[in-house]
């Protein structure tokens, strides 16, 4: 599996950095999406903009999974967002996903379920196949999910 880099949605930058909305409040989720999704950081801002392309599978709960132990830290003028990794077990049949999307499972001002960022799960093929009997695991990079300065 060759995963791409994390790309932030434009609206996230405004509500998080300009409005000071905290990321470490425990309401961040990661949802899986099929290759039918074409992420657009400039025009998509809430989960409703993309939910039609969310993965549908008997082993997957719509809306994704919550990040465990989200935290924001700062050192030397650099901020970092971290949490535990994500694991979603799949049973019964194989599943296929192309994108993992981070979003806040809450209202932020006038936005409901605002989008944070997305990552391409498989840059060398059309999508990532998750075999039945295995888990989809998304490990946090060593430097955190993302940083800013």
Specify the DSSP class assigned to residue 97. E
Q: Which residues of 83-110 are buried (b: 16+ CB within 10 A; e: fewer)?
A: beebebebeeeebbbbbbbbbbbeebee
pLDDT score for 105: 94
Alpha carbon of 145 to those of 102, 132, 139: distances in Å? 10, 27, 9
pLDDT score for 113: 93
Residue 75 lies in a domain: yes
Residue 98 lies in a domain: yes
Place of tokens 């409005």: 19
Residue 147 lies in a domain: no
Residue 146 lies in a domain: no
| Phi, psi for 92 (deg, rounded to 5) | 85, -70
The predicted-structure confidence for 37-62, as pLDDT tens digits, reads as follows: 999 999 999 999 999 999 999 999 99
pTM for this prediction: 0.91
Residue 34 lies in a domain: yes
Question: What kind and span of H or E run contains 141?
Answer: none
**How confident is the prediction along the chain (149 residues), in pLDDT tens digits per residue?**
457 788 989 888 777 766 667 787 778 999 999 999 999 999 999 999 999 999 999 999 999 999 999 988 888 888 888 999 899 999 989 999 999 999 999 888 888 999 999 999 988 888 888 999 998 988 888 888 888 77
Round the CA-based radius of gyration of the chain to a whole number and report it. 15
Question: What kind and span of H or E run contains 100?
Answer: strand 99-104
Interatomic CA distance for residues 52 and 44, integer angstroms: 13
Residue 93 lies in a domain: yes
> Which residues are paired to 108 by β-bridges?
111
> Which domain covers residue 93, as residue numbers?
6-141
User: Among the residues of 4-134, which ranges form H helices?
Assistant: 10-12
Structural domains counted in the chain: 1
Residue 149 lies in a domain: no
Residue 11 lies in a domain: yes
């Amino acid at each position: 599996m060759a995963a791409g880099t994390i790309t932030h949605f434009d609206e996230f930058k405004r509500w998080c950095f300009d409005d000071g909305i905290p990321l470490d409040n425990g309401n961040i989720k990661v949802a899986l999406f099929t290759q039918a999704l074409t992420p657009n950081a400039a025009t998509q801002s809430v989960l409703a903009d993309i939910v039609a392309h969310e993965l549908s599978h008997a082993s997957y709960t719509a809306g994704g999974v919550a990040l465990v132990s989200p935290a924001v830290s700062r050192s030397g003028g650099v901020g970092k967002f971290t949490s535990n990794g994500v694991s979603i077990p799949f049973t019964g049949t194989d599943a296929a996903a192309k994108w993992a999307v981070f979003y806040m499972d809450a209202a932020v001002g006038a936005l409901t379920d605002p989008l944070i960022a997305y990552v391409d799960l498989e840059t060398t093929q059309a999508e990532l196949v998750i075999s039945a009997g295995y888990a989809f695991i998304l490990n946090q990079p060593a430097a955190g999910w993302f940083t800013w300065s």
